[in-house]
Structure 1
């Protein structure tokens, strides 16, 4: 845990008692503050009370607000759009500073001990609409693979204040959402990464401009030493231009693009499975990503390119980075190759809960046996029609099955009902060179608790199938030996 600094002996409100809220309360208490906790849900309040925290109804004027120095708000609680939470409104009216756990982290991570360190800790922050988790985990993996101490947290893994106090030479890699960035009163990454932007959370940010502005705060308020920025969209080009300091060399920006970046600065490009680094208009290093099974598809090439750039900014060599890219295991439920049998890979992309995510999964393979369906999203799979030529056959499950069948038209498909039936048919009918792919393009709630449970079920089915296949091969080899 990182003790929260700056509030010793003072009362601090904590609104929202999920993972980040409880971690903030513990960090405040460890730093000598007195947390006053509230959540609109009674079970969350009970959990906080069980840890000995004071409860106070922050949605009402009263004793809970007396002497409150600040209000720490969990990311999911709105503070502006579509409307501020009642407790936030009271804080505004009373002049109480509103912050979040990320702001507390950046105010608290550095300690007096750092002055004695040989190598001060570094902080890398990753944001964007798509690929944040993979890029964050990939950077942390590359660092550890190269022998560097690294922790990972934020919107993935551990909450920012639940991390261990930073040590000499250590790097912390944080995934930060727009919700986490927009309210933080302090942001100070050494390296900040902007991947991409697509419409999301528009009600929370009052439109795409507000959504981008929230993410841009990481760079504008944070003032990173190096800014790794995807520049294939107007927002990325705008942000890169704003961050550039010197005409010519482009510092501190490392521009990342699917196309060749025509400038004299520092850039990393990704195309056709290769990542190439350029400085001063000359290529200085390249990595072939095609053997990296966990980094299939153009979207993962962008993730890899941004991770490469961030690690170069941290001083790693191209060869050290390449080694980490090659053996990165990937994240569960995100184009996760569970295994292979008879030349057929079984790929779990249960996190593909909408058409945009499923598009990236389908684009990563030439020929697929596609398991799709669940609770449908608006538009279904109609936007994926340009990729239907890659589908050897679709196996449809859940509530969306009839709608998806109609949208597939003449593409071979079968309504299977449930995942077990769909998997059995797909595995039996798959031929070498095809992939059995779970990319549902749907929420899971009709048949599963969440996308993780759905992915776990697919993984279990695939492993059982592979074990039976390997057992049959072993039996056949034994028979041939006789």
Structure 2
């Protein structure tokens, strides 16, 4: 645990008692604060009370009298589409609002670094797609190279549940837009922006607000180095804002769309090869085609981003290349779960929007595609260029019929349930094809998380292959 100082003897309100909220309360208490907690869910309040925390109904009139700060959990809106009533009350009372990520950076910045010959460093990774894989891959590369490292944030542990970092240690944080938009302190040593595609638009008041939330990671603290994916206009804009000149190597541009020119520092993937250029010459190249944990061009972009961040931390190309080959990928993200009869079975349940599903479709030439669920704002237009890769779609979800009608030109079978979809896809699949779960939709019409959806796919698949 990382204790949070600066609030000794003061009341600090915590709203939302999931993983990050309870973690923040424990860290505040360890730093001498008097946390007062609230959650709209009775079971969450009961769990906090069982730990000995004081409950304080933040919806009551005058609830923020004598409160120094409000710490907000990521899922609770503070502006769009409308602030939670307790947040509105805190704002009206002039109480500053923060989150656990802001507390983390403030606590880390107050550390006694004089005792370290090599102070700890923080790499913070954000973007629409690929940030989990990029974060896990960078953590794997560091550990494989013998560097002490911890992984937290939107993946794995909460940021305040980390152990206080030691000599030369690197903390790798995956940060969502919900986390970056509110944190009052954002001071990573290296910041990474993977890409931007429409997502969470209602929460951020549109695409501009969504990009602004991501951009705060680079604008608030001024990282020593920035790794920027430049395959979208927003990334090119951000790289241009951060660089002082074309040769400014504090910005490392990353692309999976082809070679990047210029005199600066760049890492790009082309035809399955990762190439690093710096000061107008090639520095290193890696063949990614044999890296099983990074299938497809979208994962090659993730590989480039993790490689660039590792290089910014001083690791050599050969060390990074060795680690890439031992990376096994993450569950539910282009995860190869079985191979049978010449057919590959891939779980990409994390593809919860059209843009991320399009990346999965682009990775395989002939696909039996399991898709459907709770369609997100932004539609399915991003899928269009890759639909020719689909031999047949097997549509799940409560609105499967309507979802299937939007897959123009694709032969689609309405299956509704995962069990039916897996059975039909396994029955139809031919050698050389891929059975791919990439829903292009949220899971909440049938499952409580994308993880549960992916687990159901794997369970049904194993039962079917075992029976066959």
Question: TM-score, normalized by length of structure 2?
Answer: 0.93
Query: What is the aligned partner in structure 2 of residue 155 from structure 1?
Result: 154
Query: What is the aligned partner in structure 2 of residue 249 from structure 1?
Result: 247
Query: What is the aligned partner in structure 1 of residue 60 from structure 2?
Result: 60
What is the CA-CA distance between 1:363 and the residue it aligns to? Answer: 0.9
Deviations 1:21-40 (A, max 9, x none): 11100000011110011122
CA distance in 2, matches of 1:70, 1:417: 46
CA distance in 1, matches of 2:419, 2:222: 51
Go from structure 1 to structure 2 and tell me whether the alpha carbon gap of 1:447 and 1:223 turns closer, same or farther (over 3 Å shift).
closer
CA distance in 2, matches of 1:416, 1:441: 16
Q: Which runs of 5+ in 1 are unaligned?
A: 470-482
Go from structure 1 to structure 2 and tell me whether the alpha carbon gap of 1:319 and 1:119 turns closer, same or farther (over 3 Å shift).
same
- Residues 372, 396 of structure 2: 8 Å contact kept: yes
Deviations 1:393-423 (A, max 9, x none): 3333343443355455664444444322332
Range moving further from structure 2, 448-457 or 282-291: 448-457
| Structure 1 segments of 4+ aligned residues over 6 angstroms from their partners | none
What is the CA-CA distance between 1:460 and the residue it aligns to? Answer: 2.2
Deviations 1:215-242 (A, max 9, x none): 2111111111101111222222222122
Pairing 1:41–2:41 present: yes
Q: How does 1:217-366 map to 2 (within 5 A)?
A: 217-245=216-244, 247-257=245-255, 258-366=257-365
Q: Which runs of 5+ in 2 are unaligned?
A: none
Range moving further from structure 2, 86-95 or 271-280: 86-95
CA distance in 2, matches of 1:243, 1:378: 30
CA distance in 2, matches of 1:381, 1:201: 15
CA distance in 2, matches of 1:200, 1:370: 22
What is the CA-CA distance between 1:271 and the residue it aligns to? Answer: 2.0
- Residues 381, 404 of structure 1: 8 Å contact kept: no
Query: What is the aligned partner in structure 1 of residue 191 from structure 2?
Result: 192
Question: TM-score, normalized by length of structure 1?
Answer: 0.90
Go from structure 1 to structure 2 and tell me whether the alpha carbon gap of 1:177 and 1:417 turns closer, same or farther (over 3 Å shift).
closer
Range moving further from structure 2, 260-269 or 19-28: 260-269
CA RMSD of aligned residues (A): 2.2
Go from structure 1 to structure 2 and tell me whether the alpha carbon gap of 1:121 and 1:262 turns closer, same or farther (over 3 Å shift).
same
Go from structure 1 to structure 2 and tell me whether the alpha carbon gap of 1:180 and 1:385 turns closer, same or farther (over 3 Å shift).
closer
What is the CA-CA distance between 1:248 and the residue it aligns to? Answer: 4.7
Bigger CA radius of gyration: 1
Go from structure 1 to structure 2 and tell me whether the alpha carbon gap of 1:306 and 1:415 turns closer, same or farther (over 3 Å shift).
same
CA distance in 2, matches of 1:352, 1:112: 39
Range moving further from structure 2, 145-154 or 68-77: 68-77
Go from structure 1 to structure 2 and tell me whether the alpha carbon gap of 1:264 and 1:198 turns closer, same or farther (over 3 Å shift).
same
CA distance in 2, matches of 1:163, 1:185: 19
Pairing 1:25–2:25 present: yes
Deviations 1:43-100 (A, max 9, x none): 22222111111111222333x4343222212222222333333333333333322221
Range moving further from structure 2, 144-153 or 87-96: 87-96
Q: Secondary structure at the match of 1:426?
A: helix
Go from structure 1 to structure 2 and tell me whether the alpha carbon gap of 1:411 and 1:316 turns closer, same or farther (over 3 Å shift).
same
Query: What is the aligned partner in structure 2 of residue 15 from structure 1?
Result: 15
What is the CA-CA distance between 1:389 and the residue it aligns to? Answer: 2.4
